[in-house]
Amino acid sequence: MVKPVLGYWNFRGMAEPIRYLLHYKKVDFEDKQYTFGGEDWEKEKFDLGLDFPHLPYYIDGDIKLTQSVTILRYLAKKYELDGKNDHERYKIYMVEQQSVDLWKSLRSVVMSNDYEILRKEFLENIPEHFKCFEEFLRGKNYLVGEDITYVDFMVFESLDFYTTFHGTALDDFRILKAYWGKMKKLPELQFYVNSCKRNFEPIPPRPKFEGPGPQLILKKPINPSLLF
């Protein structure tokens, strides 16, 4: 039986929640990583049978999908991580989009040529990004109900991105920090998150993350559209 294939660049990016889900469900898959800015993806992108040739992609037999959220929804339905009823699913879809906004807001800062200017203001506004998530989580084990759903992996990666950017980002949010720690310690993820297979960089190696925040290293301009 042919393994499913997840294709993406050689950093975490928007594919990382997909990796978490696959490892959580112990799916035997190929994690195909293309060198960012290299030619390997360009050479084969139109030969894979993808309707919209983008990264990430997921090939599972006759199923060939692109767009990170679409892939997550497919896997969540297949592995029953998409809620127990319509009420939960509506909540899940809402959190899904909030998580995308959370991740993109930080990405836009660290990928900007004006990073040093934007960084201070962004740090001051972090509470605005987190306070609604803090209240939404209050009294819950996971984001939607008592069981893990695919949006938990999305929010976990966003929070991990923020703590990589600024090590104390969660310190004023007790519930959110405890949730992040709980997700990080999920038994099903331990082998992956502690292995050399997991990339440290949440995004391409333009901003270099060291300790509590990134030290900007300007390289050749990066087209943000390549991240998806």
pLDDT (tens digit, 9 = 90+) per residue, 184-193? 999 999 999 8
pLDDT above 50 (res 221):
no
pLDDT at position 89 is: 97
pLDDT (tens digit, 9 = 90+) per residue, 23-62? 999 999 999 999 988 899 999 999 999 999 999 999 999 9
pLDDT at position 205 is: 59
State whether residue 150 is helix, strand or coil. helix
pLDDT at position 213 is: 39
Instruction: Report the share of the chain in percent with pLDDT over 90.
Output: 68
